[in-house]
A and B are shown apart, each in its own frame.
Chain A
């Protein structure tokens, strides 16, 4: 992505000395990492290592005890989630959280209504077109007017990604979007994420499915007990002794 030898672009996301506690339990301990614009960034770690907590701190669902989150050069640490979404951070959820009383298209309409640039009014007909083109991209066009209650698991995951896309993100965080899917479904979602990355969206992917992480990530980070134990190319990280001990349990 980067021109070789050129000056490194400023990071899109800079997390500095982030600490998150739940009572006496330290979920994230002094985590610092930069994510570059356009990067495909993988995040792995055993269950309870702090991956989703980190995502919640980036998207604003959790307040942090210490440290800062800087996005696009702006310190967003004090901002609530909806403002962060408008700045360009979108996410999916580990367990899908659709708006159950709405159709698939209406779920995306919420994003168009609230996440688009303030005061940017989109006429009704054009909004429908925008929604339909995002749904077509994610393979959900035929489900547009169905209730989300009728969707299968893989369709729900895609709907969450489509809803996130409808906020026009600069950074998309996918939280185990492939968990529990069959291998062909994993490939579908993975292809979708790679396609989105190809459009210039920076993507952080949390995943347990190793072949997907290895295929997707340009850079990989492994968390264990709230600390970064390895970061680098996927091959480097997988070769790391501590990663193998913590994550693969050898």
Chain B
């Protein structure tokens, strides 16, 4: 266990050093633009799998949390000129609160009813933001990036590195949960909620905890997105594409292991980026749909399930 932990943290450190080195070596901004999106999806997919995978509560509200993160950053930046770190921390706090409220209100519902409630949440919040003049309303808002600080040459490079940090944070949390009593409790309640409760598992509290962590991570990863495009508008910040992608990446990667969503996010994220550049941004939605159908039919346990089935155990290294 502890040797596993050491391997994980060495891998994580190596990943961060590589990301930092990339910002120093690569001059062209495009790779950072592309990789930023993939890193963002890794965080979303990993966060999604904490509630959707471990607990089995399918959440269509990723875009609600993501959008709230975006607009938390927009508001703080416009009102107070808050620095990026504050934007992210505040977004995480608001995301945690939102997750808590959503969890308390809806996690008594099981299965499809919870999922529908999360869609409703997205619509409610998007409508509210659309009618909020201060942050630009439906027309959106332009943002001027502040000057970048050492050691980065450009703001996009810095955002890329910040997103890499969020990836490590999200994966470390997901990994911790999987190996801890929280993970075993979530797995038990996913299998059978009443039996779990009668074995001493505080099911509601664990589900709300998962929802809080999931919400905080999703909001936190949304916060830098405003500065990434220097523009925010409700229909792109709350785009349903985030919900569908996070879900598809988790399921395609496999939710039984924390590495699953990472594999799924990299696979789908890279494919989407390549298709967007080479063909069109609409095709990638189609590909996402086709791949999701394929995996649900052929490999319901995802890539991780396929790997396990093949008998080759793999952990770490994917980050």
Contacts and interface: CB of A to CB of B under 8 A. Distances in A.
Contacts, number: 78
Nearest to A116: B200
Interface residue range, chain B: 20 to 34
A113 B195 contact: no
A91 B195 CA distance: 9
Given A106-B184, A113-B185, A99 B197 contact: no
A239 interface: no
Interface of B: 181, 184-185, 187-188, 190-192, 194-204, 256
Contacts of B185: 110, 113-114
B24 to A, nearest CB: 43
Given A101-B187, A110-B185, A167 B195 contact: no
Contacts of A106: 184
Contact of B184 (A98, A110, A163): A110
A99 B188 contact: yes
Nearest to B181: A113
A61 B194 contact: yes
Interface residues of A, number: 28
Nearest to B256: A101
A102 B198 contact: no
A61 B199 contact: no
Given A99-B192, A101-B190, A110 B199 contact: yes
Given A106-B184, A110-B185, A113-B185, A85 B192 contact: no
Given A82-B203, A99-B192, A100-B191, A109 B198 contact: no
Contacts of B201: 82, 110, 114
Given A109-B184, A110-B185, A114-B185, A99 B200 contact: no
A93 B185 CA distance: 19
B203 A102 contact: no
Contacts of A220: none
B187 A115 contact: no
A61 B196 CA distance: 11
A150 B190 CA distance: 19
Contact of B187 (A81, A99, A116, A164): A99
A80 B197 CA distance: 8
A35 interface: no
A110 B197 contact: no
